[in-house]
Chain A
Amino acid sequence: QVQLQESGPGLVEPSQTLSLSCIVSGASITSGPYYWTWIRQPAGKGLEWIGRIDASGNTNYNPSLKSRVTISLDTSKIQFSLNLTSVTAADTAVYFCARAGIVGSSHFDYWGQGTLVTVSS
C-alpha cells in the first residue's frame, strides 16, 4: 500500500522560506512513470497545483509560482521536498503531496493527509 506523509513546520514568518517534505512508503520515488507532486489549498478555497518531479528529477512548476518554487528528490530518505521562498500570507494553506499515476498527469491516485502551513509573524 502506497502511503505519503507530509512533514514540516506549521508556522513560517513572512519573507522566509517554506520547506516541506513528503515521506513515501510502499513505492519507489526513483523508478516508475510517476510524478511526485505538491498541491495546496487555502482555507475554504480550491486546489492549486504547485509542481511535480519525476523519478529522473525532471520538474514542472506552476508558472504563477515558478520563480519561488523548488521541488527535489531525496532518494536516500525516500522523500521529496518543496521549498517556497519569500512567502507571504497568501501562501497560507494546507499543503498536500500526491502521486500522479500513470494514467494521466492529473490522475492523483495517492495523497498525503495534508499539513497546514500558516505564514505569520
Chain B
Amino acid sequence: QSVLTQPPSASGTPGQRVTISCSGSSSNIISNIVNWYQQLPGSAPKLLIYRNDRRPSGVPDRFSGFKSGTSASLAIAGLHSEDEADYFCAAWDDSLNGVLFGGGTKLTVL
C-alpha cells in the first residue's frame, strides 16, 4: 500500500529530544531516498533533511535523520520554541510512480 504513516502529533519541553517516525513499505522507503520538511505556520515547507540523513546548509545539527528498512525517523535534539511546526516525510513510491508525503506531525514545544 502506498502510504507513509506519521504520528499526527508530538511534543516536548525546551531542551528535550523528540523523535518523529515515518512508516512506509517496500515500494517507497526501502528502495528510495527519504526527505524531511519543516513547515512553519503560514509558510511553504522547507527542506530539513535530504537523502535520509543529510542536512542542507543552514540547518542546525540538532536535526538528524535515520532510515532503516521500511521506516525513517527525524530526531530533534535540544528542542527550541521555534521548532514548533509541522514536519513531513516524503519519498518516491515505485507503485504510485510518484511522490508520497506522510500525513505530517504537528510538533508542540510545551
Interfacial residues, chain A to chain B (CB-CB below 8 A) = 37, 39, 45-49, 51-52, 60-63, 96, 100-101, 103-109, 111-114
Contact = CB atoms under 8 A, between A and B. Distances in A.
B33 interface: yes
B102 A96 contact: no
Contact of A104 (B51, B56, B102): B51
A106 B91 contact: yes
B99 interface: yes
Contacts of A63: 96-98
The 3 closest A-B pairs by CB, nearest first: A104-B33, A49-B99, A111-B44
Interface of B: 32-35, 37, 43-47, 50-51, 56, 88, 90-92, 96-104
B104 A46 contact: yes
B44 A114 contact: yes
Contacts of A111: 44-46
Contact of A96 (B35, B44, B90): B44
